[in-house]
Amino acid sequence: MRTFIFPTIPTFGPNSVLSRGLLAALTLFPAAAHAEEAGSPGDDIIVTATRSDQRLSDSGKSIAVIDVTQIQQRQTVSVADLLRTTPGVTLVRNGGPGTFTSIFIRGAQSEQTVALIDGVKINDPSSPAGGFNFADLLTDTIERIEILRGPQSVLWG
């Protein structure tokens, strides 16, 4: 009968001296901890683009944020007049103030533009083409408007 003897190779198992020494050395070094950088007052937190909290400066998405200070500076009464000056947003009104007003974002139809108030979809299926009528939406109770342009808008339907 033949017996084969294999040379032993030092292992790094949990009981080896080398493993225990390495573990002890690593526990002696403090772990690097980085505090989150404080955002500047103008660094807005957005939720719309990814449905999670994220700074506007950290987002690579095409987003326009209109906050309460900008709303007060522009001194407009209706949201439609406020959005008229936003890049990539086109406003169409069927007559004078108070008539049906549609918003088109980057060439999409008004029925393809989703309007949300506090996360609730407010598009009206009974209106022309199912869009939202922006004529009666006033700026006096609005604190913030987020306009999301691009492919990430599919998160909202």
Structural domain of residue 134, as residue ranges? 46-156
Give a yes or no: residue 18 inside a domain: no
Give a yes or no: residue 63 inside a domain: yes
Give a yes or no: residue 143 inside a domain: yes
Q: What is the mean pLDDT of residues 82-99?
A: 85
Contacts of 74 (CB under 8 A, 6+ apart): 82, 85
CA 103 to chain centre: 21
Q: What is the mean pLDDT of the chain?
A: 70
* pLDDT confidence of residue 48: 52
Q: What is the mean pLDDT of residues 52-77?
A: 75
For residue 106, give the nearest of 63, 70, 138, 56 by alpha carbon.
Answer: 63
* pLDDT confidence of residue 14: 56
Give a yes or no: residue 128 inside a domain: yes
Give a yes or no: residue 135 inside a domain: yes
CATH number, domain of 135, equals 2.170.130.10
For the whole prediction, is pTM greater than 0.95?
no
- Who wins on pLDDT, 156 or 148? 148
What is the total count of domains within the chain?
1
Give a yes or no: residue 2 inside a domain: no
What tokens appear for 104 in the block?
């088109």
Check residue 35 and report its DSSP letter.
P
Give a yes or no: residue 51 inside a domain: yes
What tokens appear for 72 in the block?
């007060």
Give a yes or no: residue 67 inside a domain: yes
For residue 155, give the nearest of 45, 50, 47, 61 by alpha carbon.
Answer: 50
How far apart (Å, rounded) are the C-alpha atoms in residues 138 and 152?
27
What sections of the chain are H helices per DSSP?
A: 17-28, 68-74, 79-83
